[in-house]
Amino acid sequence: MEKGTSVSLALGSGGARGLAHIGVIQVLKEEGFTIGNIAGTSMGACVGGIYCAGKLDVFEDWITKINKRETFRLMDFTMSTQGMLKGQKVLDHLKTILGEIRIEDFDIPYTAVATDVRAKEEIWMRTGDLYTVIRASSSIPTLMMPSKLNERLLIDGGVLNPLPLEPLMPKTTDLVVAVNINANAENHTRHREILLSSGLDKLQEQSEEETTAYTSRMVNSVKGWLNMTKSPEGDAVQESTLNYLGMLNKTYDFMQDRMCEQSIEIHKPDIVINIPRTVGTTLEFYRAKEMVEEGKIAAKKAIANWKLKQLVQ
């Protein structure tokens, strides 16, 4: 690889898993790549935008230190039928940490992708307040309320484009790198499993207990959001409703998986960094440090494979 090889970077959607993008960017820089263009959807838009603003280190320092309680406090639940979360509290907090950020001030070309519900089309955002853009790009259906921007009603860009390679075309850099955080788990050993294999049994037990407690609290909040009350069928009706929401989310996941595969097949990026969906769920932001490590592991593996192919050719 020539020193300073430039890359265009497509950062995919996936909620808290998207924090793996931090690790990917760090490895790309360590390996001598120069990032010349970024397009992101949802958490990809968040991490990509913060990197372009030169604030990624500050963001990582904050996000990798928050625990379950702090994560929960940043979730502004609402009774709206349009979504479970307002999604504004965390962005307001980010603004206090990172300051005012506008996309047009970036030295690196940057595109955030959202979906316009009324126009039924994807929107590429390249100007404006970064926090407003992130909010629009990450409004996951059923989870977060849609975002209003001018006359548009916007939801998660992942609905139509979970891996935004199109905004990077035609290629203006040496390479195009796609970071797919909705990949399958074939032949993947999670970073957590690597730690546990080192004999940290107590860590596993503690982690499982904390995750169970956290999940229970989230479920209770969802029940409150749905305004569930006791009925003749009791818990069976509540469980049925929660299963219904779970099925919607599963369907959304499957759709994203397939669209990512198709996007990679059509645009054929030079390097594909695959991070399995199984490494974490949408709201597990308290596992940020682990997600960053997952990104590093996946990036090192993909870059090593790419280098090997270059030697063979």
Active site residues: 42, 156
Sign of the C-alpha dihedral, residues 128, 130, 133, 137? positive
Burial 139-177 (b: 16+ CB within 10 A, else e): bbbebbbbbebeebbbbbbbbbbbbbbbbbeebebbbbb
* 147-149 vs 34-41, strand pairing mode: unpaired
**Nearest to 148, CA basis, from 162, 157, 160, 135:** 135
Residue 204: CB atoms within 10 Å: 13
Beta-bridge mates of residue 123: 114
Rounded to an integer, what distance in angstroms lies between the CA atom of residue 218 and that of residue 278? Answer: 19
Structure tokens at 241: 């409703």
Q: Which of 202, 212, 222 is nearest to 284 (CA)?
A: 212
